[in-house]
Amino acid sequence: MSKIRKIRKVFNSRPTLEGAGVHLKRVFGYQHVPQLDPFLLLDDFHSNNPDEYIKGFPWHPHRGIETITYVLYGKVEHGDSMGNKGVISSGDVQWMTAGSGIIHQEMPKGREDGLLWGFQLWDNLPASHKMMEPRYRDVQHHQIPEIRLNNNVTVKIICGEVNRARGPVQDIVTDPEYLDVSVPPDTMFIHRVQEGYTVFAYVIEGRGYFEPERDPYGYEVEGRNYFDFKRDCLIGAESLVIFDDGNELSISTGEEGLRFLLISGKPIREPVAWYGPIVMNTQEELRIAFEEYQSGTFLKHGSMNPD
């Protein structure tokens, strides 16, 4: 039996600075834990000005999480303590499991006209996997299935399964689904999701309706007064939609098309101790991680001496 998910909450991404001075939009982060469990953070980096991103993210550590970088346009050069090195280009994905610890850098270059646009998602790891061996998956755009449904909706499947087509990233602890969905004007997209999982959508372009009721007062809009009578049930770019529970989504468009990221995962439901690039379960584990980083014993697999 179908149970269509309603919207629980909507809010917009906010400008912030990260790394060595990268201008980006923080979609959600530390202050939203545990609303999006198992997910911790989503950043939208989008600029035509190289001065806003060229300094990048120099060498820094991670432990206890996975970082997923999806580049729409431009490129990002990267390297890490396991000896991996390369370029994430337009349409490519880097799925990095930090596990017990990794040190890496990400240096955006943009494309020839200066445009850089992409996303980085942080997926938490349960206590049983916090100290697993790090692993790295470099997924090129041609390895990502793109299917067209019979109503001309197109879906790029990074992780998960749609119409028996499976994404190239599999066997992830939190059983995530990561889709890039484009819906034409005046079209409905129906999609089954796992009941009990966290599900959210982030609008990249266009506007759409994310539940059949189309009631702009049926859910919380962060940062807006409930008595804002100009509220629109069409949800547009740079908006995050968090869904209530259910096993199906019903998303539709009007005169304008819509493109969004659709992401879901199994909640971990464990304590989160988070400081900077390290996410553990307790403050003591955080203390140990930073002491090891300072003493040079942070890496349990691989080794390096960052410049």
Tell me, what's the pLDDT at 230? 66
Per-residue pLDDT at 305 exceeds 80:
no
147 confidence band (pLDDT: 50, 70, 90): very high
284 three-state secondary structure: helix
Contact predicate 92/141, CB 8 Å: yes
Distance CA 33, CA 26 (A): 14
User: Cβ–Cβ contacts within 10 Å for residue 154, how many?
Assistant: 14
Q: Work out the mean pLDDT of the chain and round it to a whole number.
A: 95
pLDDT confidence of residue 304 = 57
Instruction: Please give the share of the chain, as a percent, with pLDDT higher than 90.
Output: 90
What is the arithmetic mean of pLDDT over 240-262?
98
Q: What digits encode the pLDDT tens for the residues 67-124?
A: 999 999 999 999 999 888 999 999 999 999 999 999 999 999 999 999 999 999 999 9
Query: What are the pLDDT digits (tens) for 46-79?
Result: 999 999 999 999 999 999 999 999 999 999 999 9
pLDDT digits (tens, 9 = 90+) for 178-217: 999 999 999 999 999 999 999 999 999 999 999 999 988 8
User: Is 211 in contact with 7 (CB distance < 8 Å)?
Assistant: yes
Question: Any bridge partners for residue 69, and if so which?
Answer: 94, 120
The three-state secondary structure class of 32 is: helix
What confidence category does residue 129 fall into, taking pLDDT thresholds of 50, 70 and 90? Answer: very high
Domain boundaries along the sequence of the chain: 7-289
Domain covering 7-289 in this structure, CATH number = 2.60.120.10
Within its chain, how far is the Cα of 36 from the centroid?
Answer: 11
Query: Is the pLDDT reported for residue 43 higher than 70?
Result: yes
Q: How do beta strands 85-89 and 75-80 pair?
A: antiparallel
Average confidence (pLDDT) over 125-136: 96
Q: In whole angstroms, give the CA distance from residue 168 to residue 289.
A: 31
pLDDT category of residue 306 using cuts at 50, 70 and 90 = very low
- The residue among 5, 30, 19 whose CA lies nearest residue 57 is 19
142: helix, strand or coil = helix
Contact 84, 125 (CB under 8 A): no
- CA atoms within 13 Å, Cβ hemisphere of 64: 24
Report the alpha-carbon distance of residue 237 to residue 146 in Å, rounded. 22
CA–centroid distance for 204 within its chain: 12
